[in-house]
């Protein structure tokens, strides 16, 4: 009797189909099939529960499937989901007004889009049109998106093999206090000298067409690098001296993540253009460009064009209004400050137990933990970071590792603003055990 071929299990079929039909778009896929998500947890096809310490793609600030977001989507999709791009609806105008109400003057004009890359694309396009120039300055460890202008201003990854970037893009060093390049007599980061040197180089390379500086208040994909207090005021002044606009990309830091509504509030500045995404839709595709009436008026007069399929869509705008409702009602800015203090204290406690933890940094519920082979030399090890993240997943914690040349593995930790103290404690315990397991094998 002929042997029969075993029928593949649903899981085997899933991975066979994924391997055969999906384009791989960045690294390897996480080896789990995710079936369900609620609050701070994901549920896999085999019944495992995983604590999500990245809130999806650093976006789901209200946790997964927040009941008020679910109710808004159900209501709005049955009433008004999508329109011709030149038509307006109440959710769109309401969200624009309410966003402006959370921001200092003169930021009051809002363009609603879908992704962070798209919002940065629109902001750069606006800046070029208004200034009549084309050169853009960004941090050397930046991430602003994968569309043309956004990718051209992204230096942390993805530049090789695609041909020329947009002309006139320049990088300046990120002010990394843990790994200083310009130092004070006591070995700290001399960020003023670094910034002066950076703009001396920019001036030497510029053709006289500097349009804007596009930067993140805290570089997330670059390794949770937070410039020192005073840096952004000085950077803003460098821009003003050259007639440049300052664009702040608050994709991950905006909407209470860092303990204030916007990360730039710490620095006492107001950007010329602000871009929002990720956190604005709490996991759904919603982004915004916010600027002054003066800049918007000049852009309009010069024929600003950013007519896209999903500009000003009512469905996600309604979600954005619900996000603001919850943030205000539940005081999630204060909650992020308080829980952020607990998170960082827990990370420092881990550092006390494991010599491979070189640094803990961040603000609010956006934290970074940098792993090194040697604290004295700060020698990095991408292998160690990969081992820790793999063990975390095995133990039921999803976190993200940044592995860039010249930098140790940096764990990016960004739980939902609705995370509980018990969930933070669970995540810290798993991370502690994962680091212990990884270092025991070295």
**Token output for 404:** 């860039």
Q: Is 252 a catalytic residue?
A: yes
Contacts of 228 (CB under 8 A, 6+ apart): 175, 177, 189, 191
In the structure encoding, which two tokens stand for residue 162, read together?
């695609």
The answer to whether 423 is a known catalytic residue is no
Q: Which helix (H) or strand (E) holds 239?
A: helix 231-241
- The reply to whether 118 belongs to the active site is no
Residues in a beta bridge with 379: 374
**Sequence-distant (≥ 6) Cβ neighbours of residue 34 within 8 angstroms:** 42, 43, 44, 45
Answer yes or no: are the C-beta atoms of 126 and 291 closer than 8 Å: yes
User: How far is it, in rounded angstroms, from Cα 165 to Cα 176?
Assistant: 25
Of the candidates 278, 245, 201, the one whose C-alpha atom is nearest the C-alpha of residue 106 is 245
Which position among 216, 226, 267, 272 bears the catalytic label?
A: 216
- The residues near 251 (Cβ < 8 Å, ≥ 6 apart) are 58, 116, 119, 216, 275, 276, 277, 278, 279, 287
Cα 151 from Cα 172, distance rounded (Å): 16
Catalytic choice (109, 242, 257, 278): 278
Q: Are 378 and 178 in contact (CB under 8 A)?
A: yes
Rg (CA), the chain: 22
Two tokens at 52? 């999500």
CA distance linking residue 412 with residue 57, whole number of Å: 11
Is 261 noted as a catalytic residue in this protein?
no
How is residue 398 annotated by DSSP? E
Q: Tell me, yes or no, if 378 is annotated catalytic.
A: no
- The answer to whether residue 325 is catalytic is no
Asked if 221 contacts 402 with a C-beta cutoff of 8 angstroms, the reply is yes
* Catalytic member of 52, 143, 250, 363: 143
Which of 39, 68, 66 is CA-nearest to residue 322?
Answer: 68
Question: Annotated catalytic residue: which of 249, 313, 333, 423?
Answer: 249
Annotated active-site residue in 76, 194, 252, 403: 252
Catalytic residues: 143, 216, 249, 252, 278, 412
């Amino acid at each position: 009797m002929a042997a029969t071929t075993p029928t593949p299990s649903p899981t085997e079929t899933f991975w066979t189909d994924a391997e055969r039909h999906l384009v791989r778009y960045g690294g390897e896929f996480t080896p789990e099939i995710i079936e369900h998500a609620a609050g701070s947890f994901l549920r896999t096809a085999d019944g495992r529960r995983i604590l999500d310490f990245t809130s999806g793609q650093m976006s789901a600030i209200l946790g997964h499937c927040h009941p008020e977001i679910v109710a808004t989507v159900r209501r709005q999709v049955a009433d008004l989901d999508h329109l011709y791009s030149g038509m307006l609806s109440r959710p769109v105008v309401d969200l624009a007004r309410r966003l402006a109400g959370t921001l200092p003057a003169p930021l009051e004009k809002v363009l609603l889009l879908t992704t962070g890359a798209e919002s940065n694309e629109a902001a750069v396009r606006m800046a070029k049109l208004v200034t009549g120039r084309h050169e853009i300055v960004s941090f050397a460890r930046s991430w602003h998106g994968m569309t043309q202008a956004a990718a051209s201003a992204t230096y942390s990854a993805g530049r090789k093999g695609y041909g020329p970037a947009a002309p006139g893009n320049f990088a300046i060093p990120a002010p990394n206090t843990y790994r200083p390049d310009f130092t004070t007599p006591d070995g700290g980061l001399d960020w003023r000298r670094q910034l002066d040197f950076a703009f001396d180089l920019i001036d030497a390379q510029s053709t006289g067409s500097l349009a804007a500086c596009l930067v993140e208040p805290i570089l997330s994909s670059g390794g949770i690098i937070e410039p020192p207090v005073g840096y952004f005021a000085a950077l803003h002044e460098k821009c003003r001296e050259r007639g440049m606009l300052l664009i702040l990309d608050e994709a991950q830091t905006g909407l209470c993540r860092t303990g204030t509504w916007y990360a730039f509030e710490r620095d006492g500045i107001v950007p010329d253009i602000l871009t929002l995404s990720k956190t604005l839709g709490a996991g759904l595709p919603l982004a915004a460009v916010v600027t002054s009436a003066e800049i918007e008026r000049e852009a309009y007069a010069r024929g600003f064009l950013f007519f896209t399929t999903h500009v000003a869509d009512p469905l996600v705008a309604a979600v954005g209004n619900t996000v603001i409702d919850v943030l205000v009602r539940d005081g999630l800015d204060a909650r992020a400050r308080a829980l952020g203090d607990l998170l960082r204290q827990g990370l420092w406690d881990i550092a006390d137990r494991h010599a491979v933890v070189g640094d803990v940094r961040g603000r609010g519920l956006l934290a970074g933990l940098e792993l090194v082979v040697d604290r004295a030399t700060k020698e990095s090890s991408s292998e160690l970071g990969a081992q820790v993240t793999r063990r975390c997943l095995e133990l039921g914690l999803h976190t993200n590792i940044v592995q860039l040349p010249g930098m140790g593995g940096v764990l990016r930790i960004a739980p939902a603003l609705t995370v509980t103290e018990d969930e933070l404690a669970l995540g810290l315990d798993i991370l502690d055990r994962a680091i212990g397991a990884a270092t025991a094998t070295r």
